[in-house]
Amino acid sequence: MRGFLHVSDPVGVDSRVVTLSGGDTVTLTWHGVTDTGRRRDANQDAFLTAYPLFVVADGMGGHIGGEIASASTVDRLGGMVEKGKVTPKNIERALTRAVSDIVSHPETTDEGTGTTLTGVYLDLDASRESWVTINIGDSRVYLLRGDQLDQLTTDHSVVQELIAAGRLSPEEAENHPYGNVITRAVGPSERVTPDYVRVDIEDGDRFVICSDGLTKELTDYGIQHFLTENPEPAAAADAMMQAALENGGRDNVTIIVLNVRRSSTPTD
pLDDT for residue 174: 63
| Residue 223, number of CB atoms within 10 A of its CB | 25
The answer, yes or no, to whether residue 118 has pLDDT greater than 50, is yes
Residue 20's nearest CA partner among 123, 134, 132, 144 is 123
pLDDT for residue 2: 36
Distance CA 201, CA 248 (A): 35
pLDDT for residue 161: 58
> 220 near 142, Cβ under 8 Å?
yes
pLDDT for residue 52: 97
Q: Residue 182 carries which DSSP code?
A: B
> 151 near 224, Cβ under 8 Å?
no
Please, what are the domains in the chain? 6-263 (3.60.40.10)
pTM for the model stands at 0.90
Q: What does the pLDDT look like over 37-90, one tens digit per residue?
A: 999 999 999 999 999 999 999 998 766 889 999 999 999 999 999 998 999 999
CB environment 140-174: b (16+ within 10 A), e (fewer)? bbbbbbeeebeebbebbbbbbebbeeeebeeeebe
Query: What sign for the dihedral angle of Cα 232, 21, 263, 13?
Result: positive
Q: What percent of the chain has pLDDT over 70?
A: 81
